[in-house]
Amino acid sequence: HSLRGLLNDGDRVVSFVGAPVTEAGTRIGFPPLHVHHVHVRKPERSGAMQPPVGRERASHWFETHGDYSRGDDFGVGARSAAGYATRLPEGHCYVVTSAEQIDLNAEVNDVRVDASGASELSYYLEAAFTLAPDADCKPVSKFWLRRPRSRELPTDVWERYAAPSTDSVTWWSGKMPSSGRLLHAWLHTHRSRFGGLLLLAAGPEVVNCAA
């Protein structure tokens, strides 16, 4: 279902929270609940001469993932669940152009060792947007930078990349389709072995990589 009513055309969004909560509204950390994803989806433009991308594919307008948690505490009221809130840089906002085309898709997993025999756990999904109080914010857009399909896993349906048990680096290069200024970046990965990412404003020859 669309999020019209929760959002309306012309709204200026500055932050989003997607998290499992108790009936009292207290956020629940990981474990016991792992937020695989909470995706706020809307159609997006694609590259030059390319058709638009439907919301089923362009599913990251706003998002929450389990690896957004900050810290190592867990359970009901975990401070680490504060990472489930994302906020745009001060003075900037996303403008809702068509609330009818926006929806939400979520997957939350009970990761207790024996969930089938565990005590009953009731929770709700919080989805909340903070709007700019007036029009005095600078509209921005989200540039979704995807990595190329992995040569090691060329037919993987989820387009995942190989994550060996030893130190390794995967790199690629590309040219931005238009100029702009990067204000902030969110990283989407579900890999426990993931060590980090560098986004360099340089060609492969500058970082001593073969083209």
* Lowest mean pLDDT, pick from 27-31, 119-123, 172-176: 172-176
**Which residues face 13 on adjacent strands?**
94, 131
CA distance 69 to 57: 24
Residue 140 · residue 56 · CB < 8 Å: no
Distance CA 202, CA 182 (A): 15
Q: How many CB atoms lie within 10 A of CB 203?
A: 11
What was the pLDDT predicted at 103? Answer: 92
pTM: 0.82
Q: What is the mean pLDDT of residues 140-154?
A: 78
Query: 120 vs 110, 115, 133, CA distance in Å?
Result: 11, 9, 40
pLDDT score of 211 more than 50:
no
The neighbour count for residue 12, using CB atoms within 10 Å, is 21
Task: State the CB neighbour count (10 A cutoff) for residue 135.
Answer: 10
Note whether 93 and 132 are within 8 A (CB). Answer: yes
* 78 CB-near residues (< 8 Å, 6+ apart): 27, 28, 29, 30, 69, 71
Answer yes or no: is pLDDT of 45 > 50: yes
